[in-house]
Structure formats: structure tokens, C-alpha cells
Chain A
Amino acid sequence: MIYREAGDFKTTYSADNQTFPIRFDRMGYYAVLIFAAVVIPFLINDYWANSLLIPFLIYAIAAIGLNILTGYCGQVSLGTGGFMAVGAFTSYKLMTAFPGLDMISITLLSGVSTALVGVAFGLPSLRIKGFYLAVATLAAQFFLVWLFNKVGWFYNYSASGQISAPSRDFFYFIPFEVTGPTATAPAKYLFCLLFVFVLAWVARNLTRGSVGRQWMAIRDMDIAAEIIGVSPLRAKLTAFAVSSFYVGISGALLFTVYLGAVEVGASYGIQKSFLVLFMIIIGGLGSIFGSFAGAAFMVLLPVILKVLLVDGLGFDTALSAHFQFVIVGALIMFFLIVEPHGLARLWALAKEKLRLWPFPH
């Protein structure tokens, strides 16, 4: 009975166009934000941070990035893992070359360098379409991973080929350590949350503005879009740039904040590309909320399966890993058949129903 537009009068055009037009939604959104920023940091411990919250936040950024490219602009990319590696290695080189630099600048610069690489690999998209392009982005995936594996300069010639993150501060006048072995869980969590909040907000506003409408025009029918005056060059390359910027930041955070030490083939291989792609399929193509839902789902699934199968039924871990493959694969097919727009559409339908409840006619 409280989920209503009735009585909530909009007097300006911008108020009518806001992201959460219903007051209840708006309040819920603020409540979640305040809870995430103020309450969770006091409750969080290492287990919660490392197994759920931090990976969820980091993958949510990657999912938003890929969703911009695939969901909004219609260019399927299987090179996400490679672009995440660009972000990670840029942040590593910056951290080791400039010890005084703070983490916010490092992470943003990692995003910028990934955006440049993304634009370079996005150039073929002007000629190649559909799954020819999807396969072409695999070139980026394999080439970048090989590059970071073979060229010693990228990993500072360390013997194992691994890179590991030294301790660095949040911002230059905020001396909180967010990377390295001594960083605390709340600091890491807040650092990721800040990026997620800002990037999601930017993404939401980009996608409903002029740029976003150009992307969607290209997605729906590129030739028609060109005829009505959308420049495919501009639209596709901006999509690649923005998407790679997000993916690069996510890759950098995954390395610096979450994992701490990575080996490029194991952490940024093709499996990662598929993982992020699955997130946006399950969550919902062309939806910012869907990116969050999908990331949460794919991060939660292995944890739930472990609790159910290994702890509950006493299966060994190998068997439960096999089950995970079966379940993820089946879910992907299930979602594509039943609801190609993913969890986000289900959520929207539920809200639609709720608005009319209890008098649906």
C-alpha cells in the first residue's frame, strides 16, 4: 500500500525523469547506501569481506563495464579477462614505479590506460560485426595474456612471473592502507564501495543521456542508426573506451585490493571473460541493476554450493566443482530461454505487480 506513485507529484521535468520515480524506491535506495557505507564497515570481518563483499563489488564494476559494451552498445566481447589484466599490470607498474602515489590515482590511471588499449582493440568493430567480432575480441584476450606472461618488463623481471601488490594508502592525506598484507577489511571494503558507487552513478547517467541513446541505437540496428545521424565510429569507440575503463578499474582492484598477488594466466584467463559475460546474461543485458544482480549471483553461487554440497551432503570438493559447471551452464540456458533480459527484468516485473497490488484491475 506504500508502493505507490499516488500523492507523489512531480513539478519539474527533471523530477519526472529521475532514476527512482517512486518515493518508496528512492528511500530504499538511500537506506541501502547508508547501510552499505555506515553500518557494514563496523560489522565486516575478513571472511565476509574476502569471500563475498569485496569480490561482489569488484565484479559488479566489471559487469557494468561489459554491460555498457554488450548490453547497451550490442558489441559482444570475450576479451574482458585480457582488459582486466591491462588494468592490473598498469596499477602494478604505477605502484612500483611511483611509491608516493595514492591508490585512487593509481586505480583511475589504470582505467585510463585500459581504455586506450580497449579503443585500439575496438577499431576492428567498425568493420566486423556480430560473432565475428566476439571471436575477434578473443584475439585481445589471448594476445594480452601472452604479452604479460612473456615480457619481463611488465612484472619487473620477477623470477616467478607473479606480481604482488605493495602497501599503499587510500589517498594522500587519508593514510588508510587499502592494499598489502596489513590492510584491514573495512578499509578495503570502503575503498571498493566508493568506486562502485561513483562508477555506477556515472554509468546510469551516461546510459540515459545522449551517449547512451547513441549506443542503444547502434545496438538495435546500426545501419538505421547511421542514417538518422549517429556516428558509428564515435558511438562504438566511446562504448569500447568507457567499457574498458570500467573493466580496467575492476581488474586493478581485483589485483591490488582483493587478490594481492596474481599470475596472469590463472587470474585473467578466458574463464574470467566468461564469468563476467555470464554475470550480465543472468543479471540482465542493458541494465545497471542487472549488473549488480548478476555479479551477486555468480559470487554467491559457489559459496552456496559449497555449503550445500560439501558441508551439507558431504561430497568432495571436486564433485561439487563439477556440479557447479552443470548448474551454471543449465542456468545460463534456462535464463536465455525463459527470460533473456535476466534477473533485472524479473525485478522490474515484480515491481510492476507490486504497484497494482492488491487491485490488479
Chain B
Amino acid sequence: MPDQLIFAMEVTFNGLLNGVMYALVALGFVLIFKASGIFNYAQGVMALFAAMTLVGIQEGRVPFAHLINAMFGTHVHEFGWEVPALLAILLTVLVMVAFAYLVQRFVFRHLVGQEPIILFMATIGLAYFLEGVSDLMWGSEIRNLDVGLPQGINDWIDSTTFEALGYGFFIDNLDIAAAVIAAILVMSLIAYSQYTKNGRAMRAVADDHQAALSVGISLNYVWILVWSLAGMVALVAGVMWGSKSGVQFSLSLIALKALPVLMLGGFTSIPGAIVGGLIIGVGEALFEFAVGPLIGGATENWFAYVLALVFLVFRPQGLFGEKIIERV
């Protein structure tokens, strides 16, 4: 086989696995959007906040250490204990549930019935707020996150492809783990929404708020539930991206990567988020590989957006989105 083709195959594989990561973030968006019509820009910052909290708890850092030190002149930084990864994850989930409650109680409860665009701008405000809180709580340095996921090149794929094609593919174990975890996550989310009472309530609210309310479903409860689920998805995404490139500010920018995925897949469809993520992942990797060198590289910053934009002109509701029906 010619070298170019083999390289392109490797790029495609890595693009697919990257796409899974995008899809993970996009999932959180879809969950909240379906149930409450809120387009949650803060999803990326939630991933950052979750990952920061996880690292902070794991390493036994004192929350708000900088603030406390600045106000009282003390020098506290760490409790001096280390929390095992599993317990830390559980504690972080608790924090995310508490966050969901607070957001619902203090922000979005007061915005029920507002126009979608006002809600969207409120989530931009929420993103700023949460980013500041995250920095205040845990500081803004880059942290290493290690919850025991496999890392480094996958030797088996490397050696098999080397024997078959004469060139070893470089595929990161972490990406494979992310793909597996994402698959499990999606399946359990679908199972949860299809086969449990809470899941049914969620779908009912997504379908029609008022009808759901009239059969006795508490909107408030469902919304807190949905925000908690989105918080957990954010935690998973944060752990994956954090293990890959460290927990730092740029983690919150993955939200910007997930937006074109959503546009492509449709805002209301979980399969759409997955397929959109894969298309964007492969598309931008191949475009960078084929066209990037000709026009100066770093095209992955905008390629996804332009792809989604061109696509939307032909199909404004995305691949799997519900048909937009407008009435006067």
C-alpha cells in the first residue's frame, strides 16, 4: 500500500477517537437542551470545574486556599492527605449534584418561560461565573490528573499493523479507553431514559412541559436531575480530556469544539451527537492532513465550524434534529 494511504488511515483512526471525545461533551449539551430547552454554553466550563474538583479532592487541597490566605494572612494549602480515586470521583459527583441544585434554584427557576436566546446568554454568564469560582477554589495552575486510566501507545495495534502493513499505527490507549467509556455512558443513558421512572419523566418533560406538569411530574425535580446528569457527563469528559492534556483553562474551550458537533447532529438527538462528533473528528483530521500543509496549518480551529455552517445551509435542523415547524 502507498505510504500516503496508510498515513491517511492512521489519521482517520485518530480522528474517530478524537470525535468520540467531542461527542462526549456534546452529549451533555443534548441532555439539557432536550429536557429544558436551555442551550448550555457552560458545559465546557462544567467539565473544567469537575476535573479541577476531582484533582483537588484527590490531592487533598484546601478549597479557596488563595482567598483564605489573602484574607486572613494564613498559609494553608493542603490538608495533607490523599483521597483514593474512586472516593474522589464519588465526592465530585456529589459536588456536581449540589451545583445542579444551586443553578436550578438560583438561576434557571427565575428564567422559566424566557426566550431561548436569553437563556443561552444566561449560560454564558454562568460559564464566566463558574470559571471564576473554579479558579478561586482550586487555583489556575495546570494540574495532572491520574485516575488510573491506561496511557501511552497501544503496543498491540502498533505491532499488528507493523506486521500487516509495514508501518505501526500510533493509537493512544487513553483514546481507546475514552471510546469504550463513551459507549458505556451512552448505552446507560439511553437505558436510563427508556426503562426507569425518572427517565420516563425526563422524556415527558422534554416532549411537553405543560402536559408533563399536568400529570404530576415535578419540573423542578426533573431539571435538577438533568443538570446533575449533565454534570456527570461533564465529569467524564473532564477526566478524559484532563488525563490527555492536563487540567487547565483550555479544557473549558472544548465546549467550543462541541458546538459544531451539535449543529451537525441536531440539538435534540443523542445519536446525532455521536455521529456528528465522529464526522467532525474525522473531517478535521483529514482536512488538516490533506489541505492543512498547503494553506499554513492549524485549520482545526475553524474547519469544524465552516463544515457545520455549509451543512446547515442545506439542512437547518442538523442531521437528526427534529424538523423545525414555525407558526405565526
Contact = CB atoms under 8 A, between A and B. Distances in A.
Interface of A: 74, 76, 124, 127-132, 134-136, 138-139, 142-143, 145-146, 149-151, 221, 223-224, 227, 270, 274, 277-278, 281, 313-316, 318-319, 322-333, 336-337, 340
A151 B309 contact: no
Contact of B116 (A130, A139, A227, A332): A130
A150 B70 contact: no
Interface residues of B, number: 51
A322 B134 CA distance: 9
B118 A76 contact: no
Contact of A128 (B295, B313, B326, B328): B313
B263 interface: yes
Taking each of A129, A139, A325, which has the highest tally of chain B beta carbons within 10 Å of its own beta carbon?
A139
Contacts of B129: 325-326, 328-330, 332-333
B77 interface: no
Contacts of B291: none
Given A325-B131, A326-B129, A136 B328 contact: no
B260 interface: yes
A177 to B, nearest CB: 36
Contacts of B328: 221, 223-224, 227
Interface string B110-153: 11001011101110111111111101100010000000000000
Interface stretch (B5-13, B165-173, B188-196, B300-308): B300-308
Interface string B244-255: 000000000000
B271 interface: no
Contacts of B140: 318, 322
Contact of B66 (A74, A151, A227, A319): A319
Contacts of B121: 76, 277, 281, 332, 336
Nearest to B266: A132
Nearest to A322: B135
30 contacts: A76-B117, A127-B316, A128-B313, A131-B39, A135-B259, A138-B259, A139-B305, A139-B309, A146-B298, A146-B301, A221-B328, A227-B328, A277-B121, A281-B121, A316-B70, A319-B67, A323-B132, A324-B132, A326-B136, A329-B125, A329-B128, A329-B129, A332-B125, A332-B129, A333-B122, A336-B111, A336-B118, A336-B122, A337-B110, A337-B111
Contact of A129 (B70, B128, B316): B316
Taking each of B110, B117, B131, B298, which has the highest tally of chain A beta carbons within 10 Å of its own beta carbon?
B117
B256 interface: yes
B136 A333 contact: no
Contacts of B116: 130-131
A145 B306 CA distance: 14
A322 B299 CA distance: 31
Contacts of B110: 337
B309 A124 contact: yes
Contact of B306 (A129, A143, A336): A143
B297 to A, nearest CB: 8
A337 to B, nearest CB: 4
Interface string B77-118: 000000000000000000000000000000100110010111
Given A127-B312, A131-B116, A139-B305, A277 B260 contact: no
Given A315-B70, A324-B132, A325-B132, A142 B127 contact: no
A332 B70 contact: no
B150 to A, nearest CB: 33
B296 interface: yes
Contacts of A128: 312-313, 316
Contacts of A224: 328
B164 to A, nearest CB: 38
Nearest to B39: A131
B194 to A, nearest CB: 28
